[in-house]
Amino acid sequence: MINFNSVREIQDLLEINNLAMSKRFGQNFLISEQAREQLISLLDLTDDSKIWEIGPGIGAMSFDIARRAKSLYLFEIDKGFIRLLNENLVSNYPNTQIIEGDILKTWKSFLNPIDIPDVIFGNLPYYISGSIIEGFIEHNFLPKKMVFTIQKELAQRLCATANNKNFSYLSLVCQLDYKIEIIKTISKNCFYPIPEVESSIIEMRLKTSEDGFCREDFLLLAKDLFAARRKTIQNNLKSGNLAKKYDIDRIFKAFSDANIELSRRGETLEIGDYMEICKKLSQASC
Ligand code: SAM
């Protein structure tokens, strides 16, 4: 096996196999052993663990996990990397399997509660990191843990709360089910090729979910209230999707029952307010 800390060895491996790295697929290998070890240590691996890795690349972290986990599913789009992984990893570790293609589509063939792994992790391709994480949670596909390397600014968006400029629909979606922690920021030099942006390792731990409200309503409301950030709640609601499901007066009543004024903006409401409004909405009758 090659030394994954060595740019020279990575370049040689690619050259021998007639492969090139593609900017289009957000390919930046994690060449810092310390960062890789930290990521892996967060997975809480046991010989019972079912793990999904998104974007394994040439397997810098995958070999270690394959040795220690019960199963490892690898979601990769690059045909050249898939060939290498098949030759070097899958042929030696029967507990591994590659799912070829675009993760945004391929993971959906596992959309069944019994297929939810213990942990989903990866040094994510930055151009779709937010959509990947959002997709799992929107579909109620909730592993106990998710551990990712993502762009630093995206990590800040995931953790942001009310009245912060980074607070967004994605913050609400992620915080609905997960306690999110930015474990550390990693320097650009930990990657090859060196990316333009800084990165953070984040850990997302599944929380006990709040009940008494409809999840679908929460997501619709969050999307509506961030559809146009500067618009009032009232205006966003009128043109939003929640109003296609409920009569607008019923929605307005839920806000008044929750003591939240319609002249405010969605970014000023705490996640608890969103839940409270949805609870009132399921009770409200007009
Ligand atoms: N895990 C490796 C590492 O840390 O060295 C590579 C990480 S690299 C940032 C992102 C990986 O995601 C690449 O292997 C890339 O080919 C893969 N990838 C990019 N877009 C993808 C997609 N839509 N679906 C699946 N994999 C994708």
pLDDT one-digit tens code per residue, 141-160: 999 999 999 999 999 999 99
Q: What is the pLDDT of residues 31-71, one digit of tens each?
A: 999 999 999 999 999 999 999 999 999 999 999 999 999 99
How confident is residue 286, by pLDDT bands cut at 50, 70 and 90?
very low
Distance CA 252, CA 248 (A): 6
Residue with CA nearest ligand 1 atom 8: 27
Question: For residue range 78-93, what is the model confidence (pLDDT) as tens digits?
Answer: 999 999 999 999 999 9
Q: Is 128 in the pocket of ligand 1 (CB under 6 A)?
A: yes
> For residues 26 and 285, which has the higher predicted lDDT (pLDDT)?
26
Distance 123 CA to ligand 1 centre (A): 7
pLDDT at 48: 98
Residue written as token pair 């619709």: 220
Whether 75 has a pLDDT exceeding 90, the answer reads yes
Residue 11: per-residue pLDDT: 97
With a cut of 90, say whether residue 285 has pLDDT above it: no
Q: Is the CB of 65 under 6 A from ligand 1?
A: no
CA of 112 relative to ligand 1 center, distance in Å: 24
| Average of per-residue pLDDT values in the chain | 96
pLDDT in tens, 203-249: 999 999 888 999 999 999 999 999 999 999 999 999 999 999 999 99
pLDDT number for residue 107: 98
Q: Is the pLDDT of residue 1 over 90?
A: no
Residue 28: band (very low, low, confident or very high) from pLDDT cuts 50, 70, 90 = very high
Q: Given 3.40.640.10, 3.40.50.1980, 3.40.50.11900, 3.40.50.150, which CATH number is that of 7-206? A: 3.40.50.150
Rounded CA-CA distance 36/241 in Å is: 42
Can you give the pLDDT at residue 279?
Answer: 97
Which segments of the chain belong to CATH 1.10.8.100? 215-283
Confidence at 284, pLDDT banded by 50, 70, 90: low
Query: In this prediction, what percent of the chain has a pLDDT beyond 90?
Result: 97
CATH 3.40.50.150 domain position(s) in the chain: 7-206
Residues near 215 by beta carbon (within 8 Å), at least 6 away in sequence: 140, 176
Residue 188 has what pLDDT? 97
Report yes or no: 109 and 22 within 8 Å, Cβ to Cβ.
Answer: no
Contacts 24+ apart (CB under 8 A), 81-86: 81/19, 81/56, 81/57, 83/17, 84/13, 84/17, 84/19, 84/58, 84/59, 85/56, 85/58, 85/59
Question: 209 vs 266, which has greater pLDDT?
Answer: 266
* Cβ of residue 25 lying under 6 Å from some atom of ligand 1: yes
Q: Is 143 in the pocket of ligand 1 (CB under 6 A)?
A: no
CATH superfamily of 215-283: rRNA adenine dimethylase, C-terminal domain (1.10.8.100)
Distance from Cα 217 to the centre of ligand 1, integer Å = 33
Is residue 176 within 8 Å of residue 213, measured between CB atoms? no
Would you state the pLDDT for residue 209? Answer: 83
Helices H / strands E in the chain, number of each: 13, 9
Residue whose CB lies within 8 A of the most ligand 1 atoms, among 24, 78, 85, 154, for a mutation test: 78
